[in-house]
Copies of this chain bind each other. A is one copy, B any other.
């Protein structure tokens, strides 16, 4: 009744089956007990833990951060400052990313505005790429 197959867990938490196995492999999820035929069977704690992981992934935390958050969450008497710090660090990286992308967006919009829709040889888009000095400003790597 309480025991779920990996497919049940997958549907309940909306995490794909191979992803669940992957999380086990990298140690985010504990290896669950198995049936006689070596199939995984999960209990309620696994559902909670996987939900936690999924929500954290949705919020863009990387696996290392999630590992720390999970481990912190098992120490209810400690200060939550370290968890705070992890979130703050992530927020800052999101903000940096937004700043980069905003710059990028304005560059791309500018390129499109400049485009006269004529033949390629007059195309500002190609020109800007070929000769970057035409460009208004520098920006960091986007990656």
Q: Is the interface of A mostly helix, strand, loop or mixed?
A: helix
CA distance A60 to B118 in the complex (A): 24
Q: Which residue of B lies closest to A73 (CB)?
A: B126
Q: B residues within 8 A CB of A30?
A: none
Copy number in the complex reads: 2
**A77-B120, A108-B90, A125-B80 known; A132 vs B95 contact (CB < 8 Å):** no
Q: Closest CB of chain B to A42's CB: distance in Å?
A: 17
Total contacting residues, chain A, CB less than 8 A: 56
CA distance A49 to B111 in the complex (A): 19
Q: Which residues of A contact B (CB under 8 A)?
A: 48, 51-52, 55-56, 58-60, 69, 72-73, 75-81, 83-84, 87-88, 90-91, 94-95, 97-98, 101-102, 104-105, 107-109, 111-112, 115, 117-123, 125-126, 128-132, 135, 139, 141-142
Apart from A59-B107, A84-B123, A87-B115, what 20 extra A-B contacts exist at CB < 8 Å?
A51-B130, A56-B129, A59-B104, A59-B142, A60-B104, A60-B142, A72-B120, A72-B126, A73-B129, A73-B130, A78-B120, A79-B117, A80-B120, A80-B123, A81-B117, A87-B111, A90-B108, A91-B112, A94-B104, A94-B108
